[in-house]
Amino acid sequence: MAVKNAMTSDFLHSAYGGESMAHMRYLYWAQVANKEGFPNIAKLFKAIAYAEQVHANNHFREIAGNTADATVTAGAVFGDGKTVDNLQGAINGELHEVEQMYPVYLNAAKFQGESGAERSFYYALEAEKIHADLFAQAQKAAKDGKDFDFTSVYICPICGHTVLDEAPDKCPVCGAKKEKYKEF
Ligand code: FE2
Ligand code: FE2
Ligand code: FE2
């Protein structure tokens, strides 16, 4: 169902822009982490880049042909730093989404009765909480000169739910089955 209200439409466009940039930024920072000898941190960036793509696609679908002059909310650093600094940029961006952006967007969508946008914002908000935490753990390791210790990252392709080492039987956010999860 396409969005009807201008304010929620603006927020979908802004969130689409922010997620798209996060996707690209994380792919780039994955390359940097690989070069610095952190293959697992690189893998985490790649996996979470995919989760941000899932969010962008969800928002894009809700926009459904509606055009708007929207500013883009992207509370993150840009450019090429060391992995420890890039992880700080990632943490800041995720926390901006968790504390500022998505709670406001989610409540606006609720207030305007935009159920599709509400679902899309809710999915993103739940995943970004996990992303902030995982990037913080990765940064702790990197500060000690170590890689982040895990075997695989699993991403739900419906909502972007992110989990280390084993996918749950059912996604706790959207209910998708274990077999749907994409492994990195
Ligand atoms: Fe996201
Ligand atoms: Fe995220
Ligand atoms: Fe999910």
The alpha carbon of 176 and the centre of ligand 3 are apart by a number of angstroms equal to: 5
pLDDT per residue over 42-59, tens digit each?
999 999 999 999 999 999
Give CA–CA dist 94/19, Å, rounded: 10
For 53, what's the count of Cα atoms within 13 Å in the CB-facing half-sphere? 15
Which pTM value belongs to this model? Answer: 0.95
> Any idea which ligand is nearest the CA of 177?
3
pLDDT per residue over 87-135, tens digit each?
999 999 999 999 999 999 999 999 999 999 999 999 999 999 999 999 9
The alpha carbon of 72 and the centre of ligand 2 are apart by a number of angstroms equal to: 16
Strands of the sheet containing 182-183, edge to edge, are: 162-164, 153-155, 182-183
Six-digit token string for 133:
């935490």
Count, residues in the chain? 184
Please report, for the chain, the start and end positions of each structural domain, with discontinuous segments joined by +.
Answer: 6-146
Give CA–CA dist 30/41, Å, rounded: 7
The superfamily in CATH containing domain 6-146 is Ferritin, core subunit, four-helix bundle (1.20.1260.10)
